[in-house]
Amino acid sequence: MIERCRDVALEARGPLFMAAEEMTVEDAATSYLLGLTAAYTLRWKPCKRFMAETMTFVREVSVHRNKGFTPGAPGSDITSSFGVPSNKPVDHIKDQMTKRIFWVIVAGVRSMTQLGASINDLPLPPPTSQEQYPDQPVEVDDEFIYTDQILPQPEGIPSLITGFNRNICVYTTMNELVGVDMCYGMKFFDWSAQKNILSNGLSSAKQATEDLPVHLQVKTEPGQPEPPSFDYAGMQYHPPAFPDAQPSDDVRRAFAEEPMRRRQLQFEIQKANIYASSLATRSYFVERYLNLRDAERQRRKAEGRANAEEDNVDADAANANGNGCNDGDGIEGDLKDERDAMVASERELIVRNLLTVLTSISQRNLEPNGGSIIYKIRQVASTLLNDAPERKGPVAVQAEEYLAKFLDILMRLEKTGGASAASVASGSGASGVPNTMTARDEEEELQCWASLRNYQHEFAVANGGFLGTG
């Protein structure tokens, strides 16, 4: 089905599509969706091509516009290089659409970097005074945006765009690090500068979720108030029964009767994604810090051994210069300071927060985010599990067994997002159609979701005090 939709979209563009004089926001949206389908089917080369195409189209429809625009000023308008007139009245619908596409690309590219993609695969430099990023989308819902005006969001009804923007704020904390990696590389700087860059980024990533609105908060501490929610017990998705009425326990029927239920569910989906993004970003900074710290330790030890060999003729002189057998302890002590302690503490907190999210997140929050949120959570969990033993604190050691079981379930869910392994291996699913979900595939997926719910319950019952300790 995905491949068929992709083929239809490409055929609709026609053979002369790339020869068009101007592109539209719809073209940018189509390219993004094509890139997304490629990503979810693990076709990374087409994904990168379509994402790069999206960024090009976004620039052409003049979303990159500085706040202090002065006509004729050098560099005041990126679109001037494309010959796009800037004195047209703003079409707010297209303007907001383009800003949303730009920022979702930012989040996607930064997330791919965290998962191991090279920054050169999809170069997206941080903003500068000459080439700024556009403003974030206005925090009002779609129904209040018109071509010629944007109405205010009704008081007391949070906008769905608020969660989108807060997720963006998490990823923009990587801008300084990305700029350094693109221009110089971290190895250009000494360890002191590297520590500053990474610890500042980590602090910013933590601050990005500190003042979230109540409806976007995940309860991670015992004293936190419970965010508002609806009771979904007994609710489930049923196939469309049109022209008959939907069953009374169908989620869509509940949404139709109580519209705020739909909005509340959307908020829950958003907050699951925000916290997964936060954990992934914090974990990325922590791991970069620890990797560079360990490299610095090895470098200093190697220097110490080299100096000791040069001075080996005079052993007393070597000992006096601190290049004796205890040199490693001195080096390790020199590298430890308050920032090193902060990173170690943060790593323990990431483990605790990850377990909290894993035990509180539900299928209705996890599934709509698709592979994106599963990739993020799986990456954090696998990084924590596979780290060197000396990096693990008491909380990480205590949580290893639980994390391993959650990780196993997440990996199975990732594999059951499409045809099962058996179906893929045979090259067909039901009725011989390649890579089609079969009844067996659907049963495997349901079993995975059931396993997640059961293990969440077992963990909460058996280890209720674990998350509240410390």
**DSSP for 327-378?**
HHHHHHHHH-SHHHHHHHHHHHHHHHHHHHHHHH--HHHHGGGHHHHHHHHH
What is the DSSP annotation of 22-77? ---HHHHHHHHHHHHHHHHTT-HHHHHHHHHHHHHHHHHTT--B-TT--TT-TTSB
In 104-175, DSSP assigns E strands to: none
Report the distance separating Cα 102 and Cα 87, nearest Å: 22
pLDDT band at 314 (very low <50, low <70, confident <90, very high): low
pLDDT number for residue 232: 56
Lowest mean pLDDT of 98-107, 140-149, 368-377, 419-428, name the range.
Answer: 419-428
pLDDT number for residue 69: 40
Q: What is the mean pLDDT of residues 341-346?
A: 91
One-letter amino acid identity for 104? V
Higher pLDDT, 195 or 463: 195
Q: Give residues with Cβ within 8 angstroms of 64, minimum separation 6.
A: 58, 78, 79, 102, 131, 132, 133, 134
Q: What are 77's strand-pairing partners?
A: 65
Greatest mean pLDDT among 247-256, 275-284, 458-467: 275-284
**What is the chain's mean pLDDT, rounded?**
78
- Has residue 263 got a pLDDT over 90? no
| DSSP three-state, residue 309 | helix
- Which structure tokens are listed for 28? 């940018």
The backbone torsions φ and ψ at residue 134, rounded to the nearest 5 degrees and listed phi first, read -70, 165
Lowest mean pLDDT of 308-322, 366-380, 416-430, name the range.
Answer: 416-430
- Has residue 288 got a pLDDT over 90? yes
Measure Cα distances from 333 to 197, 287, 336, 341, 470 in Å: 21, 20, 5, 12, 26
Which residue stretches of 173-213 are H helix? 175-183, 191-207
pLDDT tens digit string along 374-390? 778 888 888 888 888 88
Angle between helix axes 327-335 and 259-310 (nearest 10 degrees) is 140
Report the distance separating Cα 7 and Cα 412, nearest Å: 29
pTM for the model: 0.79
- Beta-carbon count within 10 A of 437 CB: 19
Write down the domain spans for the chain. Answer: 1-157, 202-403, 416-470
Measure Cα distances from 335 to 104, 169, 288, 308, 438 in Å: 38, 31, 15, 20, 56
pLDDT band at 8 (very low <50, low <70, confident <90, very high): very high
Question: What is the CB-side half-sphere exposure of residue 292 using CA atoms within 13 A?
Answer: 23
Report the distance separating Cα 293 and Cα 341, nearest Å: 12
pLDDT number for residue 70: 42
Greatest mean pLDDT among 129-138, 225-234, 392-401, 422-431: 129-138
Report the distance separating Cα 99 and Cα 116, nearest Å: 26
Q: What is the DSSP letter of 314?
A: S
